[in-house]
Structure 1
C-alpha cells in the first residue's frame, strides 16, 4: 500500500479540476511505453471455464508450483503494481470463473510449500511479458487493506483458506523480480498472513526459496509468524532499527521437482518480448521480400532486354521489306 499524494495548487495544472485537489498515484515507476502491441496468442478458453483474456475475476488459489494464481494489474499498459492494489484481477495457470490465463513465459521459477497453517508459492518472473517496469518495487495485495475490505475487494480464496497476502516487485532482489503469495487456513491463521508489514517485501515476510532455478513442490514447517526474526524479537512497522537480514526460511521436506508449466498460447497485446520478436520477424521478412523483389526486378529488366531484342529484329524485318518494295517501284 505505497501511495504518493500529489497536491496541485493551480487549476492550470489540473485543467478543469478544482484547485488543490489530491491525485493519488502509485510510488512505482510508470509502465513502459507500449509502442508496438503484440499479436494475441492462439489460446482459447477451455469450454465452460468462464476464463477470458479480459476477465475481471478474483478467485485465488495455490495448488502446486505449476497451478496457482497471482493478482496483477488488469491494464498494465497504464497501471503499475501499486496502482492496481484496489483493482487487481487474478491471472491463473489454470483459469476458471472469470479469471485470466497466466501469460506464457511470465513465471520463470516457482516453489510451492505446504504447511499445517498455510500454503505458499514463491519465485521469479519476467516483467516485460506483463509490461511491468523491471524496477517497479510493487506493493501488497491482501484481504484486509487500509479499510479492512481488502486490496482488492472481493477476492475469493479457494480451498478453505481464509487469509492471504501477496507481494510482487523488482526490488527485493535487484535484477531478478520476485513474487510471493501465501494463503492461510483457519481463524487463528492470521499471524502467518499478517498484512501490516507491507514495506518489507517477500524476503522478510515470506521467507522461502527465491534463488533456486526450476519448479518444486515441498512439505514444510510453518516456521516463524510474520515479523518474527527469532524466538524473542518480533518487528512491527515503524520500529527502529529496521532489520536488514531476512528471517530464515522454514525447513522443507519431501520435495519433488516438476517441469515448468506447458505453454498454452497465451500472449497479451502488452507483451513487450512478443512484440519485439514479431517486429524482428516482420523486418526479416520485409528484407527477404526486398531481396526477392530485387531479383524479380532483375528478371523484369532481363525480359525487357529480350523485348528490346525482339523489337529490334522486327524493325530490321520491316525496314528490309519496305526497302525491297521501294526498289521494285523504281524499276517499274
Structure 2
C-alpha cells in the first residue's frame, strides 16, 4: 500500500485532518459494515489537495485521501461538503459521481480541476503512491486501473474491476483529461440527491460504436469546420458521451452525513437512509452543471444480465476477470459520431478503428459537458 497508507482498508481510525494518506477505499468490508450495499453510498473516499486554496493541476502528484468516514488514517470529508452522490455498480466497474463544495477539501474556488489516475506523466501515479480498493468483487481488493476528476464543485471516480471485451485500462482510459466528468464517466449528475443503482457498463471513453459494427475512436476533444453548398459548417468531436447506460434497482437516500465533528461540517443525521427503490430496464437521466443545463436520455433496453464470468483482480499487476459488456439497443446520433467531411480543419484528429462487432449499440446524448483544463506535472 505504500509508506503513507495502512496495509489494508481500516475503519474507525482517529480523525487526522493533517494526514497524508493516499488510500481510497470505496466500500467497507462486510465485517465492518451492517449493510455493504447501503454502506457504499456513504462510505467512499476522494483525492484532494493537502493545503488550502490549491489548484488541482499544480498539486495532482501530492493530493491526499479524504473519506466520508474516519478510515485509513485519511482526512474526513466534512458533512455538508457533498451535495449529490450517485453510485452505479456495473459488471465492469463501480462509479460514483456528484457535486459539492470542494473548497472545503482545499480546492481553490473556480478551479475547473483535472484528472487523477494511477499513471501520470512519469508513470508513478497522480498522486504518487495513490492506492484504490473496493469490495466490488466480494473481498477488499486493490485495483490497478481507476480514474477520477476533481474540481471545486464536481467529482467523479471510477474503479475498473473486471475485464471482458474491453480491458480495465480501456474502461478507465486516462488520456482524456480535458473532457471532464460528464463525458468520460457518463451517468446521473442530478444535484441535491443521493442514489445507488445497478447498471450497464458504458462503452470505454472515446469509443463510438458505428452502424457497420466497427468503432470510431479519438484521443481528445477537438473541433473542425467544412464547406458545403457554399456555407461554412462547424462540428465537434467529443460533444457528448457515447451513451448514458441504463440503470435499475435504484435506491434514494436522504443524506450521506457521517455526524463527525470536523472543521467545516454542517449538522445532519449520521447515517444514509433508503427512501425508495425502483427497478427498470430503461433510464432517463437529467444532468446539470454550473455552466450549462441539459437533458440526456438513454432509451437502452438491456436486461440487467450482469457479467458472463468474473473474478476478482487482487493485484495491480494482473487483472484477470472476464466480465462481458451487457448489450443495449439504440441509434447513435450524429452529434456523438466522428464526423467525416471532404474538407476539415482540426487540431487533432480521430483514429478510426475497425474491430469485432460490439455487444450492442447504445443511445447517444446531446448533453454539453464541462471541459476540464489541467496540466501534467
C-alpha displacement at 1:135, in angstroms?
Answer: 1.8
- Relative distance call for 1:262 and 1:220 in structure 2 (3 A) is same
TM-score by length of 1: 0.61
- 1:204-243 equivalences under 5 Å are 204-231=183-210, 232-237=215-220, 240-241=223-224, 242-243=237-238
Q: Of the candidates 30, 55, 68, which is equivalent to residue 19 of structure 2?
A: 55
Check if 1:162 corresponds to 2:162: no
> Which residue does the alignment assign to 2:30?
none
C-alpha displacement at 1:51, in angstroms?
Answer: 4.3
RMSD (Å), alpha carbons:
2.5
C-alpha displacement at 1:129, in angstroms?
Answer: 2.8
> Which residue does the alignment assign to 1:89?
64
Q: Is the Cα contact below 8 Å between 1:166 and 1:182 reproduced in 2?
A: yes
> Which residue does the alignment assign to 1:41?
none
- Find the residue that maps to 2:216 and give its secondary structure: coil
Bigger Rg, which one: 1
- Relative distance call for 1:246 and 1:135 in structure 2 (3 A) is farther
Q: Distance between the aligned counterparts of 2:221 and 2:125, measured in 1?
A: 22
Check if 1:71 corresponds to 2:47: yes
C-alpha displacement at 1:237, in angstroms?
Answer: 2.2
How many pairs were matched up?
220
- Find the residue that maps to 1:199 and give its secondary structure: coil
Q: Report which of the two has the higher share of strand.
A: 2
Q: Of the candidates 124, 129, 134, which is equivalent to residue 104 of structure 2?
A: 129
Q: Is the Cα contact below 8 Å between 1:113 and 1:219 reproduced in 2?
A: yes
- 1:151-300 equivalences under 5 Å are 151-159=126-134, 160=141, 161-170=143-152, 177-186=153-162, 188-231=167-210, 232-237=215-220, 240-241=223-224, 242-268=237-263, 271=264
- Find the residue that maps to 2:195 and give its secondary structure: strand
- Find the residue that maps to 1:83 and give its secondary structure: helix
Q: Distance between the aligned counterparts of 2:18 and 2:191, measured in 1?
A: 33
C-alpha displacement at 1:48, in angstroms?
Answer: 6.2
- Relative distance call for 1:238 and 1:261 in structure 2 (3 A) is closer
- Relative distance call for 1:133 and 1:71 in structure 2 (3 A) is same
Q: Distance between the aligned counterparts of 1:254 and 1:48, measured in 2?
A: 29
> Which residue does the alignment assign to 2:36?
none
Check if 1:115 corresponds to 2:97: no
C-alpha displacement at 1:93, in angstroms?
Answer: 0.8
**C-alpha deviations, 1:155-180, integer Å up to 9, x for none?**
1211322211110125xxxxxx2110
> Which residue does the alignment assign to 1:105?
80
Q: Distance between the aligned counterparts of 1:47 and 1:113, measured in 2?
A: 23
Q: Is the Cα contact below 8 Å between 1:102 and 1:266 reproduced in 2?
A: no
C-alpha displacement at 1:264, in angstroms?
Answer: 2.5
